[in-house]
Amino acid sequence: MEIGIIGSGNIGSILARDLTKLGHKVSIANSRGPESLDKVAAETGASPVTVDQAAKAKDLVIITVPEKAIPKLPIDALEKSSAIIVDTCNYYPARDGQIQEIDNGLTESEWVAQNLKHSVVKAFNNIVAPSLGSKGLPSGSSNRVALSVAGDDLQSKQIISSLVDALGFDVVDTGKLSDSWRQQPGTPAYCRDLNAPALKSALQQADLKQIPNYRHEANEQARPYF
């Protein structure tokens, strides 16, 4: 596939490296411009490009930026895109400021989809970078780490699930994008490196009424890093 990655932090760089290894044509971009990506390009094999260029990737666009950066993306290009768009982002008010729509009950990825004016698949948001970079195992391996995937378009979700499997992880279908709150920060399914049965259980354990508490606890734990 032709894949554009917007965001060159830990998750974006690891995905660029591993997707390139799988034989995909990967480009990567950040807000500082391609001239800042020489080291990332050398380490991953991905091509450094502008954000506008990454947003025009033919098959897949992966967005892995702070939530507050979403409205600053090239919305026109993303709205018109025929590619699958994957949202890996997580909302932390200590970093992103208050986003009223999310605070009022919209899932993070529904808010992203509304801003981009394009459907998205929620994936790669509930695993820490070191685990994403080192814990992938061949399909069928015992106790393989599982990742949850949510989205409204079944075909898009199937393609992303196949990609997750190729990267070395089992997949658990969270459901529709409106169900993606189950894999947001602070929930039982968030960043715990669970196998598929344990992840299914954790997703079901999540309590909708506890979202403000999940978010507060995750935000306070992450605050020192922002």
Domain boundaries, the chain: 66-225
pLDDT at 10: 97
pLDDT at 183: 98
pLDDT at 25: 98
Among candidates 90, 31, 35, which has minimal Cα distance to 55?
31
Cβ contacts of 101 within 8 Å, gap of 6 or more = 111, 114
Instruction: Count CB-CB contacts under 10 A for residue 214.
Output: 18
**Phi, psi of 47, deg, nearest 5:** -90, 125
What is the H or E stretch that residue 156 is in?
helix 154-166
pLDDT tens per residue, range 43-101: 999 999 999 999 999 999 999 999 999 999 999 999 999 999 999 999 999 999 999 99
Predicted confidence band of residue 165 (pLDDT cuts 50, 70, 90): very high
Predicted confidence band of residue 18 (pLDDT cuts 50, 70, 90): very high
pLDDT tens per residue, range 123-164: 999 999 999 999 999 999 999 999 999 999 999 999 999 999
pLDDT at 122: 98
pTM over 0.85: yes
What is the rounded CA–CA span in Å between residue 51 and residue 74? 7
Mean of the per-residue pLDDT values of the chain: 98
pLDDT at 194: 98
pLDDT at 192: 97
**Phi, psi of 85, deg, nearest 5:** -110, 125
pLDDT at 91: 98
What is the rounded CA–CA span in Å between residue 89 and residue 78? 16
Architecture per CATH, 66-225: 3-Layer(aba) Sandwich (3.40)
What is the rounded CA–CA span in Å between residue 18 and residue 184? 24
Q: How far is CA 142 from CA 52, 139, 150, 156, 169, in A?
A: 41, 9, 24, 27, 11
pLDDT at 47: 98
pLDDT tens per residue, range 189-224: 999 999 999 999 999 999 999 999 999 999 999 999
What is the rounded CA–CA span in Å between residue 158 and residue 173? 9
